[in-house]
Amino acid sequence: MDNVLIIGAGAAGSVVAQKCAMDRDTFKHIHLASRRIESCEKVAKLCQTPIEISQVDADNVEEVVALINKVKPDLLINMALPYQDLPIMDACLEAGCNYMDTANYEPRDVAKFEYSWQWAYQDRFKDAGLTAILGCGFDPGVTNIYCAYAQQEGLFDEIEFIDIVDCNAGDHGKTFATNFNPEINLREVTQDGKYWKDGEWIEIPALSIKTMIDYPEVGPKASYLIYHEEEESLVKHIKGLKQIRFWMTFGEAYIKHLEVFKSIGLIGLEPIKHKGMDIIPMEFLKDLLPPPSSLAENYTGKTSIGVILRGTKDGQPVSKMIYNVSDHAKTNDEVSAQAVSYTTGVPPVSGAAMFFRGEWSGHGVFNVEQFPAKPFLEDVAQRGLPWHVIDVDGGDQEDLFAVET
């Protein structure tokens, strides 16, 4: 296997295409497709080696099927919008193609995402002899695999508490901008928070719980408890888990803008009338904001993302952190992308390599933590996302551990 089809030529999709084009031993045939052929042409010029490109409407199953039949890929990497996961999966089933994505499905008309829609494809992919790999970005993705590594490699006898922690300490110089698709980002942040504890999901008002977390190479940053999709799959696959939470940093300016946008209805998903036409406020706001691909050039600072795990080993309490730090300026120098796009775009390249080499295999629908973690982490480190394991001792992360949830 050596033929890959990438759908989606946005900021993260560009990283996927460029990184595949750097490894022709693994990816001998690379095809990039997007709704706008101009986006594909721009990405193709950035690639170190030639790739093929096409125009496709990812919402149109027949168009995607025709493209798959033309390209005959061994794997389709879906870097389009989460709304398009299901039609692309339908196309893969119809055309007989293996599938991978970085974010789970969510419907267009409600700010809600969960794996149930995609997990429902299990029997169809299994019966077709095909593989669907879900959530192979960074978070979800690498963070899941950090947890799997801790479990598979015996860092713990039992993992009881997981805190996934995501900090972007960068500065893009804009008054307000989102680091990935604005509509997806704002929907994710403004929905109610949720975490899992003692066998049940507990919902909280959006951004209502905040604490300080000490991020490697960045330092203490205010972090908010939000819901994120990898919690749903990790609850199924990490043995002995008692609690899992997800934390993300937001600056004061970001929160203030968010409050204003929400208060005047700009984050609404219901159509409103404007000069006789129906418009969706969220989509209008998205068009006003800078595209994520425009942020890279002057971005400074770092991302620091990882997992903090607590549990037992040989009857003793153990706390560890597994993490990556990426530098916006360095990722821009390499692939003309800021670090949030880079950390999302590199993992599916490693995941595809795992699949092509047979190190990740099976028929059906899988989350990444169900596969061997160590070979993936070795591969993703070589491609630009080194990772580190440290002990969390004494008063380390005391503010985080003190939060009552």
Contact criterion met (CB below 8 Å) for 354 and 379: yes
Q: Give CA torsion, residues 44, 50, 52, 53, to 10 deg.
A: 10
Rounded Cα distance between 291 and 340, Å, is 13
How many domains does the chain contain in total?
Answer: 2
What per-residue confidence (pLDDT) applies to 298? 85
- Considering the domain architecture, whether residues 33 and 110 belong to the same structural domain is answered as yes
Rounded Cα distance between 75 and 66, Å, is 15
Q: Residue 221 falls within a domain, yes or no?
A: yes
Q: What predicted TM-score, i.e. pTM, was given to this entire model?
A: 0.94
Q: Among candidates 8, 48, 10, 26, which has minimal Cα distance to 349?
A: 26
What per-residue confidence (pLDDT) applies to 259? 81
Token duo for residue 88: 């692309």
What per-residue confidence (pLDDT) applies to 179? 74
Q: Residue 198 falls within a domain, yes or no?
A: yes
pLDDT digits (tens, 9 = 90+) for 19-77: 999 999 999 999 999 999 999 999 999 999 999 999 999 999 999 999 999 999 999 99
Residue 107: is the preceding peptide bond cis (ω within 30°)? Answer: no
In terms of residue numbers, what domain contains 106?
A: 3-134
Contact criterion met (CB below 8 Å) for 111 and 343: no
Token duo for residue 1: 């296997």
Domain boundary, last residue among 79, 111, 134: 134
CATH number at residue 203: 3.30.360.10
- Considering the domain architecture, whether residues 111 and 173 belong to the same structural domain is answered as no
Cα of first residue to Cα of last residue in the chain, in angstroms, is: 47
3-state secondary structure of 293: helix
CATH number at residue 41: 3.40.50.720
Backbone angles phi, psi at 177, to 5 degrees: -160, 155
Q: Residue 349 falls within a domain, yes or no?
A: no
- Considering the domain architecture, whether residues 164 and 279 belong to the same structural domain is answered as yes
Beta bridge partners of 321: 308, 390
What per-residue confidence (pLDDT) applies to 273? 86
What per-residue confidence (pLDDT) applies to 370? 98
Q: Residue 128 falls within a domain, yes or no?
A: yes
* Exposure on the CB side of residue 203, measured as CA atoms within 13 A: 3
Beta bridge partners of 99: 76, 132
- Pick out the chain residues at pLDDT < 50: none
